[in-house]
């Protein structure tokens, strides 16, 4: 297996010059920026000493937007213009956003021809990309102020389960913020970089990453400076915000607050819930004080046992992806060396307890779970910027879902299977189905099922100008390339003529929250049925090919190469194949094809002889022997 060398030969920095690079953890709830100074990776604070930047932007008419803590105070009083958790909206369409499960107070505007919807604010209609860019600008300014110069480049982390659209949206936000992206790095992998280098431990490691808005689980092999992701899974709409929500709902029931309460009140309850959750990480009880609409107050308490009852179903939802990654990696619990906890939500004692019970070992929590991703990104950025020309670290990530192409019969031919390490390039040869075919549509698919209807369509493009040939003579090489950021490009080339076409896959919006997990579940649930269906479709396509080829041959040569009785016999078998082709029995179709092949063998042999005689007409045998 090829490994990616992420140091850059030939780009060594001058002896006394240090390229300024940073790692950015662009989080759902909070964001951080980190860098490597004097050989140590550290997160950078703002002028008030705060390392965490709340991922919140507040827009004011004709004024510069406020970011972070300054914006957070307006969440209750001006929710329409105070955008939080924008990461959940990146690369998504309006239909996807409505299924996230979060009661979003924003005024969405969907525009024709635009994938992501806009959010209407007093500063105008803004996309999630533009809003994320404001957060990145703030972190960029913090880094440049701290380092005393302009950044050479940054590594930005994304959830491992971000698809093409979400990754591209993150890149677009960085470009809009004036940043050069050295690489997008999966968050669990970034944590592994930080943890592996700090501890020097080799073996199989689980990275359990539960942040404010996303959950990722990755299994990695660390060996001699090589980080290889063996399998990954997760949920892009599950995190600490959901824990806060169930606590807030419990408080609403206890205080008899109506479900249709104003959004500002709900946000206030969410803040109270978050504070209680954090308090219960170190104490046994938390006091609750809620200002009711009628001016009265409600006082209550929440203890750790009650909290555990509320959040256990959410923690349990993280265990299914854990089981799947073990299965995908071909491992058992006994193969795991260590479990590393990442993300602010892993501070909760119940989460640590449940993860420890599942993996049958005490998880490691000795690195600040809020900072470890940014630190890993900073280490990676330092290497990519050329500050460690002798760096030996290699890094391999994987793609979360198989990438394939539509073939005849509505089938999906997988070109790059899921969990393939990236960057990767795979090519496969295809051919034409009909005589004289001069164009081909390349339909790019994503998913684990066998039929196009059960997979996700990414995009289509056409290869035109194929020289007219008999069916099956053309050789079209289709190449899929996934870069280190997980972004896909596809090219198609007709090998005989050299004509080619290509496309960079930039889908207009991403998968719905549970689409990836559901696609994987379905691939297992319907595995047997899919194999039967694929076999049937393949036989039906083969039958069509045989029928079309035979009809063309009879039209061209039947009148002078076929005897009447042969013609009758072939047509009987041809009609039989046409009838059986519509059945649901692949074996019967295959048998009918074989029977038709038997009665046409003499005809095929005579056609071959006739073609040779025609080719040699007027030429001597000596001409061919000389060649």
Q: Give catalytic residue positions.
A: 25, 87, 187, 209
Q: What's the rounded Cα separation, in Å, for the pair 448 and 403?
A: 9
| Measured CA angle at 31 (ends 29, 37), to 5 deg | 155
DSSP state of 484: T
Strand partners, 490: 480, 503
- Interhelix angle 240-254/263-279, rounded to 10 degrees, is 110
Strands (E), 79-212: 82-84, 108-109, 118-121, 124-126, 153-158, 181-186, 203-210
Q: What is the dihedral of CA 198, 200, 203, 207, to 10 degrees?
A: 0
Q: What's the rounded Cα separation, in Å, for the pair 550 and 596?
A: 10
Distances (CA, A) of 96 to 93, 104, 126, 403: 5, 13, 18, 21
Structure-token pair, residue 393: 């670290």
Q: What's the rounded Cα separation, in Å, for the pair 552 and 69?
A: 74
**CB 322: neighbour CB atoms within 10 A?**
21
Structure-token pair, residue 263: 């959004």
CB 447, CB 438: distance < 8 Å = no
Where do runs of H (alpha helix) occur along 78-186? 94-98, 128-147, 164-176
DSSP state of 556: I
Query: How remote is the C-alpha of 320 from its chain's centroid?
Result: 18
**CB 626: neighbour CB atoms within 10 A?**
7
DSSP state of 475: -
Q: How far apart are the first and last CA of the chain?
A: 43
- Are β-strands 153-158 and 181-186 bridged in parallel, bridged antiparallel, or unpaired? parallel
CB 534, CB 449: distance < 8 Å = no
Q: What is the dihedral of CA 530, 533, 538, 543, to 10 degrees?
A: 180
DSSP state of 478: E
Per DSSP, the three-state class of 309 is helix
The number of residues making up the chain comes to 627
Q: What's the rounded Cα separation, in Å, for the pair 375 and 380?
A: 9
Distances (CA, A) of 108 to 98, 105, 115, 511: 10, 9, 13, 19
DSSP state of 81: G
């Amino acid at each position: 297996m090829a490994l990616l060398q992420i140091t850059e030969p030939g780009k060594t920095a001058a002896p006394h010059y240090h390229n300024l690079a940073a790692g950015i953890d662009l989080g759902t709830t909070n964001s951080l920026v980190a860098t490597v100074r004097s050989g140590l990776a550290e997160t950078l604070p703002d002028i008030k000493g705060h390392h965490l930047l709340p991922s919140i932007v507040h827009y004011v008419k004709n004024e510069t937007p406020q970011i972070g803590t300054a914006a957070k105070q307006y969440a209750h009083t001006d929710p329409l213009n105070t955008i939080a958790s924008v990461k959940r909206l990146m690369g998504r369409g309006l239909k996807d956003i409505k299924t996230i499960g979060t009661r979003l107070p924003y005024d969405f505007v969907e525009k024709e021809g635009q994938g992501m919807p806009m959010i209407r604010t007093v500063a105008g209609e803004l996309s999630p990309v533009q809003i994320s860019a404001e957060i990145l600008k703030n972190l960029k300014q913090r880094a440049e102020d701290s380092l005393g110069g302009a950044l050479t480049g940054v590594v930005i982390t994304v959830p491992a389960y971000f698809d093409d659209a979400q990754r591209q949206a993150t890149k677009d936000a960085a470009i809009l913020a004036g940043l050069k992206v050295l690489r997008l790095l999966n968050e669990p992998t970034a944590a592994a970089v930080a943890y592996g280098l700090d501890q020097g431990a080799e073996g199989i490691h689980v990275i359990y990453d539960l942040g404010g808005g996303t959950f990722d689980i990755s299994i990695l092999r660390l060996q001699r400076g090589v980080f290889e992701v063996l399998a990954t899974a997760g949920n892009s709409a599950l995190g600490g915000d959901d824990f806060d929500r169930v606590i807030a709902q419990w408080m609403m029931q206890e205080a008899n607050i109506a479900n249709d309460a104003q959004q500002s009140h709900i946000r206030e309850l969410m803040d109270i819930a978050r504070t209680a959750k954090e308090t219960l990480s170190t104490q046994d009880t938390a006091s609750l004080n809620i200002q009711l609409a009628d001016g009265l107050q409600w006082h209550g308490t929440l203890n750790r046992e009650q909290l555990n009852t509320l959040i256990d179903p959410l923690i349990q939802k993280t265990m299914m992806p854990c089981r799947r990654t073990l299965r995908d990696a071909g491992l058992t619990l006994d193969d795991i060396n260590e479990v590393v906890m990442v993300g602010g939500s892993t501070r909760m004692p119940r989460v640590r307890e449940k993860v420890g019970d599942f993996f049958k070992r005490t998880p490691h929590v000795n690195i600040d779970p809020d900072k470890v991703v940014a630190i890993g990104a900073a280490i990676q950025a330092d290497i990519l910027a050329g500050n460690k020309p002798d760096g030996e670290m290699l890094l391999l990530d994987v793609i979360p879902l198989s990438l394939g192409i539509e073939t005849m019969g509505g089938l999906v031919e997988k070109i790059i299977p899921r969990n393939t390490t990236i960057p990767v390039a795979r090519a496969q040869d295809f051919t034409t189905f009909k005589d004289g075919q001069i164009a081909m549509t390349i339909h790019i698919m994503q998913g684990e099922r066998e039929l196009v209807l059960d997979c996700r369509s990414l995009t289509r493009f056409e290869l035109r100008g194929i020289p007219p040939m008999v069916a099956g003579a053309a050789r079209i090489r289709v190449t899929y390339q996934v870069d280190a950021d997980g972004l896909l490009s596809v090219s198609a080339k007709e090998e005989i003529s050299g004509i080619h076409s290509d496309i960079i896959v930039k889908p207009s919006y991403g998968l719905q929250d549970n689409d990836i997990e559901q696609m994987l579940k379905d691939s297992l649930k319907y595995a047997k049925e899919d194999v039967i269906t694929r076999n049937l479709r393949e036989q039906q396509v083969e039958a069509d090919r045989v029928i079309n080829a035979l009809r063309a041959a009879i039209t061209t040569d039947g009148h002078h190469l076929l005897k009447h009785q042969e013609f009758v016999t072939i047509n009987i078998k041809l009609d039989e194949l046409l009838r059986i082709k519509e059945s649901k029995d692949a074996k019967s179709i295959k048998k009918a094809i074989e029977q038709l092949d038997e009665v046409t063998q003499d005809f095929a042999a005579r056609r071959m002889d006739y073609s040779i005689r025609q080719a040699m007409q007027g030429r001597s045998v000596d001409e061919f022997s000389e060649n």
